[in-house]
Amino acid sequence: MTTVPAHDPAPVHYPAPAHYRAARDSALIAGRNLRVLRKNPGRMIYPLVQPLVLLVMFVSVFGNLAIAGHAGGSSGTYRQFLIPGIIIENAALTAPTTGLALLRDASSGLADRFRSLPMARAAVLAGRLASDAIVFAVQAVLLLAVATLLGFHVRHDLAGLAAITAVTTAFAAGVAVLSAWLALLINDPETAERVLFFPAIALAFISSAFAPVADLAGWMQPVARVNPVTAAAAVIRSVASGGPLTAPLLELGCWTAALILIPGTLAVRRWNAAR
């Protein structure tokens, strides 16, 4: 039962409904993260410039191998197959920055400041996810622009490009939440920096990102079939080139929801854990 004390130096702010406070506080945290990015443009090199370099390198190197017959089909066909994989691979490789940024906050004096404020308890994670989702979306748009210059074709033009951006952002958000939980579990920025990218690399390679599942080594195939990277790449390929969409889209939706809800809840609990 809530006790109302006889003397109460009432706070000056006006209480608002919890869901409004959660959305407002998350937006404030997201705004702070974006302002930090804007004032420190060097921090955008990894999420926005490096993926473009990787895209050009991958397409140049592996596109030529395809011509020689190592990956099957003409280079144009393989390029059309490869680029969705590279887009998703970059999303998977960028998403762990969410966990690292959250851990930086948790390791600084700022964490105690946030925890001692009457703010929504999930706002630090939700705000981080919201600001990073904008970065993921910008990354996808830039990659698609360069990919188009490299010969990548998307059906339905703008609608197709928007759909691919949305799918890539949703996938990256799921991996980002997973990385946030893992980072808070690891609880050491240096260790997390070394550890968090391994699962992302493994996810990307044990999937259909770079080759059809049937062409992978036998032990990889069962993992690759249920890998969310495979589902995400399949959705992008279907949107770009045609093909079955419902099944991979459903699979990706389930993965994304599970990745956001389960590790997300655990990450918020971990962030707020009073020790």
Partner 1 sequence: MGDLTAPRDASQAAAVPAIQVSAVRKAFGQVTALTDVDLTVSAGTLTALLGPNGAGKTTLVRIIATLARPDAGQVRVFGYDVVRQAGQVRARIGLTGQYAGLEEALSGHDNLMLIGRLAGLSRGRAASRAAELTAALGLTDAAERMVRTYSGGMRRRLDLAASLMHHPGLLVLDEPTTGLDPGSRRQLWAVLARLRSAGTTMLLTTQYLEEADRFADIVHVLHHGKVIASGTPGQLKSRAGGEGTSLDDAFLALTRGSGDRGSGDRGSGDRGSGDKASQNTGAVPS
User: Interface with partner 1 by CB under 8 A: which residues?
Assistant: 2-16, 21, 24-25, 28-29, 32, 35-36, 39-40, 108-119, 123, 274-275
Tokens standing for residue 109: 């004096």
Name the minimum Å distance from CB 4 to partner 1: 8
Judged by beta carbon, residue 117 or residue 262, the one nearer partner 1 is 117
Smallest gap from Cβ 51 to partner 1, in A, equals 23
DSSP, collapsed to helix, strand or coil, labels residue 158 as: helix
Which tokens sit at 80? 């059309």
* Closest CB to partner 1 among residues 74, 272: 272
Whose CA is closest to 168, among 96, 56, 86, 223?
Answer: 86
Look up residue 122 and give its DSSP letter.
T
Cα distances (angstroms) measured from residue 101 to each of 67, 158, 273: 41, 32, 18
Contact predicate 225/242, CB 8 Å: no
The nearer residue to partner 1, 7 or 149, going by C-beta atoms, is 7
Q: Which is nearer to partner 1, 2 or 246 (CB)?
A: 2
Q: C-alpha distances in angstroms, 273 versus 241, 259, 266?
A: 47, 21, 10
Closest by CA to 87, choosing from 54, 46, 60, is 54
Residue with Cβ nearer partner 1 (5 or 242): 5
The minimum distance between CB 16 and partner 1, in angstroms, equals 8
Nearer to partner 1, 116 or 246 (CB): 116
Least spacing, CB of residue 199 vs partner 1, in Å:
28
Q: What angle do CA 150, 42, 107 make, to 5 degrees?
A: 125
Residue type, 200: A
Closest approach of Cβ 96 to partner 1, in Å?
A: 20
Least spacing, CB of residue 264 vs partner 1, in Å: 20
